[in-house]
Amino acid sequence: MRHLLAGIDEAGYGPIMGPLLVSCVAFSVPEDEVLLELRDQWKTWGLRVGDSKEVYSQGGLEALERTILPFMALEGGIPGTLRELLLRLGAGVEEWGEYPWYLGEGPSLPWCLELDEVEALTRTLRASLMNGKVSLLAWRSRPVYVLEFNRRVQRGNKGWLLAHMVGQLLRWAGTRGEGSSMDHVDCDRLGGRKFYGELLQYCFCVKPKIQEETMKRSSYVMDLEDRRLTVSFAVDADKRSVAVGLASMMCKYLRELHMNMINAYWRERFPGLMHTAGYPVDGQRFLDELGAEMTEEIRRLLVRSR
């Protein structure tokens, strides 16, 4: 009996610039352990899956791309641009037209690696998944750009916004299953939140049964029309779950490419301007250096309200 194993994570919750990203990846597996076994195999080829902050700090954007693009290339080939990648992830790019730094198709991909290297890794990865009887069912990512971010937090707060975005992907993941009683979605814990029953009931219109609610893990079971679905929220889920790790890395990869576009736009106007990742202290330094260019309209497009 095969079952769904999906993971959800985010990147960009804390910065003052750039998009918030939430992603989900869903696998069809014969048993949960097979993905953990394959992860050890992938690591020998340089495909690392885990906490995106850790992977990025050790290998930069190249380390993220080395894993993300071969997985994306399994279906539909290697995306040639950031815009193509977003469209294949189900993310709308209509909002790009409102921002002067999100231009055209975005950066060409691969950004760091050579095309033939990604193609070779994709062939090896495909054979590995086939040997493990694992299928990558689907990816989904949702960027929340600054204008939408600010509109939404005015109606609630950042925590509410993140929970809402995760809820959208939970509903999406819940439709990917194959009717197994062992379908499971793992999520990284949303801040310090401990209780998720209300969120799950809102997403699935079914009252969840609590398995556990502790400071490190909250787990629930829901009997849906055609199957039983287990959902868990855990500290460091991106280190323990291959699906959550991949979702985390996709979010980080997308966010860094977006930030590169923002930096390139402003460095063209201010040669020598230091790159920023958009986090509060360095982000404020970046904004201060824009000086008179920081008009009210630019601030509206560039800076989050919270």
DSSP string covering 116-166, please?
HHHHHHHHHHHHHHHHTT-EEEEEEEEEE-HHHHHHHHHTS-HHHHHHHHH
The 8-class DSSP code of residue 45 comes to T
pLDDT of residue 306: 83
52 neighbors 249 (Cβ within 8 angstroms): yes
Q: How far is CA 150 from each of CA 12, 81, 193, 216, rounded to the nearest angstrom?
A: 14, 27, 22, 30
Residue 114 lies in domain: 3-302
Tokens of 53: 């902050």
Number of domains in the chain: 1
pLDDT of residue 279: 96
**3-state SS, residue 304:** coil
**3-state SS, residue 237:** helix
pLDDT of residue 179: 66
- Work out the burial of residue 94: count CB atoms within 10 Å of its CB; fewer than 13 is exposed, 13-18 middle, 19 or more buried: exposed
pTM: 0.96
Q: How far is CA 266 from each of CA 273, 285, 294, rounded to the nearest angstrom?
A: 8, 13, 11
* Full pLDDT tens readout for the chain, 306 residues: 789 999 999 999 999 999 999 999 999 999 888 999 999 999 999 999 999 999 999 999 999 999 999 999 999 999 999 999 999 999 989 999 999 999 899 999 999 999 999 999 999 999 999 999 999 999 999 999 999 999 999 888 899 999 999 999 999 998 777 666 789 999 999 888 899 999 999 999 999 999 999 999 999 999 988 788 999 999 999 999 999 999 999 999 999 999 999 999 999 999 999 999 999 999 999 999 999 999 999 999 999 998
pLDDT of residue 298: 95
As a whole number of angstroms, the distance between CA 254 and CA 267 comes to 20
23 neighbors 141 (Cβ within 8 angstroms): yes
CATH number of the domain at 77, please.
3.30.420.10
pLDDT of residue 178: 66
